[in-house]
Structure 1
Amino acid sequence: MIDKEDCLLNNTEIKIIFGNVLPIYQVHREMLEELKCLATSWQEDSSIGSVFLKYSSELVKAYPPFVNFFEKTREMLLQCDQTKPRFHAFLKVGQTRPECCRQSLQELLIRPVQRLPSISLLLNDILKHSD
């Protein structure tokens, strides 16, 4: 049995900080697999837009809970960082990992909020340069 004092965060803190990330991750993981398949068997009539259209309803469901509660997520993350020394140490170690590109958890968590506008710009740019 795990002693509650050994945990970096309690269940409520985990849910507030990470609870809305998983649906976004799952949708993008599925999209990535389809885009990889499309790229490996690319033909002249292939379309990445069809992948985005296929997952559009899932994206519309996944993003609002994350975006709408992001401020609460950020506040909880800062509170835990300031009041839990072991969690603070965990964050510092995590930030040094190559996978994190020297970014803090807060910087990594803002990425989904920034992703949709950048995807929209990318797709519009592709559209401009397509037939």
Structure 2
Amino acid sequence: MDKIIPIFHSLSKSMRSIHKSSCDVISIVQSSIIYEISLMTKPSMQVVAEAVGMDITTFSRQIGTLEKKELVIRTPYEQDRRIYLLSLTAKGSDMVVAINGIIAAKMESALATMNDFERETVLRSMHVLEVKLRETE
């Protein structure tokens, strides 16, 4: 267990660095928000806020910023005007694709230094760890 803390912090720092370098126009938090929106069809603000682990007040401010940057559209839900649905603009969708491409290229570059067995083992292990971490939330 003594090895897990340094590995956790080092891996977090490396992943954050990759994510940050892929986002030159928006913050990492905003990148995570538009990524989550891209995974769903017109999700409510509450659903996306929960997905990114953010309180609704802070999240609402971030959405306001993303609207000003013309990346997100906030639409009132017809059955209940208190609920807002989110969708990406074409510019927002393009940004998600660009950010994902940069992240994928950097991850592929790191994985390219491994043989097929190591690469498959790392990817499978990362997936299992991610699932187990979600279960502990």
What TM-score do you get using the length of structure 1 for normalisation?
Answer: 0.36
> Using CA pairs below 8 Å that are at least 6 residues apart, which structure has the higher relative contact order?
1
| Structure with the greater alpha carbon radius of gyration | 1
Q: Whose helix proportion is higher, 1 or 2?
A: 1
